[in-house]
Amino acid sequence: ADVFTYDPGFTSTASCDSTITYIDGDKGELWYRGYPIEQLAQNSNYIEVCYLLLYGELPSAEQLTDFQSRVTRHTMVHEQMHNFFRGFRRDSHPMATMVGVVGAMSAFYHDSTDIGDEWQREVAAIRLIAKLPTIAAMAYKYAIGQPFVYPDNELDYASNFLNMCFSVPAEKYHVDPALSKAMDRIFTLHADHEQNASTSTVRLAGSSGANPFACIAAGIACLWGPAHGGANQACLEMLREIGTVDRIPEYIEKAKDKDDPFRLMGFGHRVYKNFDPRAKVMKESADEVLDLLGIRNNPTLQVAKELEKIALEDEYFVSKKLYPNVDFYSGIILSAMGFPTSMFTPIFALSRTVGWIAQWKEMISDPQNKIGRPRQLYVGSDKRDYVELAKR
């Protein structure tokens, strides 16, 4: 019989070669195409990072303008898609709506579903990057009973998203450039993260030849779980539930208790065993954004900082190498910007779309690509004969 290596959770199985993102979990390093995340977060912007992830190099000024105009050309969604949104229950979670609507894109954009055609793959990538903010904002507007706001191509990527979320016909939202920069930085920090669960899902779905919209819908579904992208929502809800600094020890004890399934949300990572570089940038950004908005002594931020401090001095978290991850501080920023917790994971999804599609494109053009098909160790019943219903 064949012998297979048993590797639950794929902790030591590489599923592909990739040139896109590098993580050194011991050093706490993350690079996109060789560029450290800190430098990109500081000096670059999301649209440039999208280009970098997709094509491998930073764009020239001309390439950037061209890319930007290709993206803005596709920001609107087919008008008929509005009906699709309206079919959902009004109180649907925006992630539920997004899984459905993004899946439905393959029904609306037939001319970019032929994966054998390089040009169609390219158009699908641009469409996804362009339309995901529109779809996320529409999911939000629908959930709060406000009219959809069309994209505004005069605005940059992040400002346009903020405008689609917060403008109403009666009053145009004034996009503060500093807030839009903070939004853009959140997009950048989430743009790719090598072979995490949702990216592996996209690759696995794509390995069968499924169209890119279907694959990204699968990625969104996987991202939603609280152990993955859903942690940003769960983390802020946890911080609010803790409420005050004096209650932190109680939650630390709960997280350490083996008989209690509770975990500190926004803590721990499969790969980072020293620190998550994204969390560092996010923490600085949280301070900046709250300052900018004139929010002093935000109780949630206080709880977060104190919780981090206490956990990092605790033997349990130290020995298991558990540190705050990207989801620990992002919710504080998003909530200060005015987003409800239900929008945190959709924002993660729209930011990660470029990473998913870059990984998908890389896989499709790899001559080694074959359908993903893990094996198993069968531990079920031996062969046996069927028993008639009356005899059971």
| CB closer to ligand CMC, 102 vs 231 | 231
Q: Which is nearer to ligand CMC, 23 or 77 (CB)?
A: 23
- Closest residue to ligand CMC, judged by C-beta, is 268
- Contacting positions for ligand CMC (CB under 6 A): 9, 196, 227-229, 231, 255, 263-270, 320, 322, 325-327
d(CA 101, CA 229): 19
Q: Give yes or no: 327 in active site.
A: yes
Nearer to ligand CMC, 178 or 227 (CB): 227
Q: Assess contact for 345 and 221: CB atoms under 8 A.
A: no
Q: How far is the CB of 253 from ligand CMC (least distance, A)?
A: 11
Q: Are 277 and 327 in contact (CB under 8 A)?
A: no
Nearest to 187 by CA among 346, 67, 304: 346
CB of 7 to ligand CMC, least distance (A): 12
Least distance CB 255 / ligand CMC (angstroms): 4
CB of 267 to ligand CMC, least distance (A): 4
Q: What b/e sequence results for 77-109 when a residue is b if at least 16 CB atoms lie within 10 Å of its CB, and e otherwise?
A: beeebeebbeebeeebbbbbbbbbbbbbbbebb
Amino acid at 119: W
Interatomic CA distance for residues 281 and 186, integer angstroms? 9
Q: How far is the CB of 155 from ligand CMC (least distance, A)?
A: 28
Q: Which is nearer to ligand CMC, 101 or 189 (CB)?
A: 189
CA angle 347, 344, 348 (to 5 degrees): 35
Identify which of residues 114 and 260 has a Cβ nearer to ligand CMC in the complex: 260
Task: Tell me the residue type at 1.
Answer: A
| Catalytic site residue from 192, 193, 269, 276 | 269
Dihedral angle sign, alpha carbons of residues 378, 379, 384, 389: negative
In whole angstroms, what is the distance from residue 149 CA to residue 285 CA?
27
The verdict on whether 93 is a catalytic residue reads: no
Widest CA span of the chain, in angstroms? 77
Active site residues: 269, 327
